[in-house]
Amino acid sequence: MPTQARNRMLAVGEVLFDCFPGGKRLGGAPCNFSIHARGLGAKVDFLTRVGDDANGKMIREKLAGLGFNLDLIQIDGDWPTGVVHVTFNDCGNPEYEIVPAAWDHIELDAESASRLSDDPPHLFYFGTLAQRTPAGASLIERVAERLAGKCTFLCDLNLRRGHVVKSRVFRSLELCDALKLNEEELAYLAAELGSTGTREQVMEELQRRFSISVIAVTRGKLGSILLSESGFTRSAGVKVADPVNTVGAGDAFTAALAVGMLNDDPPGQILLRAGGLAAEVCRLPGAVPENPGFFTAFLSRPAKGETHGQ
């Protein structure tokens, strides 16, 4: 009898429109993650909230078209749909202006809570941005309580300047089984922990102190590092021809990481797939593809690059 696939995920957090100089695009790290994970073959439920406005209607239509369960896309009559104004600094790195919105008020009703307990997903994805308010922090705690011991918890640190709540960052480290972060976020944690070791030593300290099984650090064009039970695995960066911007690349990486973890893929294969998908996203004008053939084309190509272990 075939083994049932371990591919069901729950993502909780923000959905919004990223407002670029050239127009608006669907965004929000959990939303981006969910779309990419679905594109890679996972079954993803996305719990979020939009306003009762034109932007909210548009987001629900887009998510419905991608196959998401609209019962989990809540409508808020008081707060508007989230928008984030994206600009780029002199180095080409994105900067974000984040304002209060409907996704700050996501609720976990009794029916949804009961379903989580009775039919848990295989992986629960959450970030730190939605936890910048007491309501958001409480939401993540309630979901975590329902799913404790029943699935893998994956946290994407996703720190944004001016929206970092240190207590929630470290609580997220306590909750998660797997952690994805970038070099700047790793440096933040090292400073807060008073760690002066190398990049790898800080990762090992995080693993020991918080009992995190898998830690992935993205390094942009320099590649990525994965710390797992197999030790360290490193992947060289993927050269991107004619990049548009890097918005959403990290979320694509996290989605491929999640799928690879649930598939029990080798660490090197996970990094090649994740890095390759992140590189493809850098060619898009937004964080997620609007071409339905994007993932079919990506999955049809062999993963390219080099990885090496400890």
**Res 172 pLDDT > 90:** yes
Q: Are 246 and 93 in contact (CB under 8 A)?
A: yes
Residue 89 φ then ψ, to 5°: -80, -175
**Res 238 pLDDT > 90:** no
Q: Say what the pLDDT of residue 92 is.
A: 65
- Mean pLDDT, residues 192-208: 95
Residue 253's contacts (CB-CB under 8 Å, 6 or more residues apart) are 180, 216, 218, 224, 274, 275, 277, 278
**Res 301 pLDDT > 90:** no
Q: d(Cα 23, Cα 248) in Å, to the nearest integer?
A: 16
Band (pLDDT 50/70/90 cuts) for residue 248 is confident
Q: What's the chain's average pLDDT?
A: 91
78: its two tokens = 């008081």
- Mean pLDDT, residues 234-249: 82
The residues facing 228 across adjacent strands are 231
CA 61 from centre of chain: 22
**Res 2 pLDDT > 70:** no
Band (pLDDT 50/70/90 cuts) for residue 160 is confident
Residue appearing with tokens 């240190």 = 166
**Res 216 pLDDT > 80:** yes
- Mean pLDDT, residues 13-32: 89
Give percent of the chain with pLDDT exceeding 70: 95
Q: d(Cα 305, Cα 167) in Å, to the nearest integer?
A: 38
Highest-pLDDT range among 84-93, 165-174, 300-309: 165-174
261-300 tens-digit pLDDT: 999 999 999 999 999 999 999 988 888 998 879 999 999 9
Residue 297's contacts (CB-CB under 8 Å, 6 or more residues apart) are none
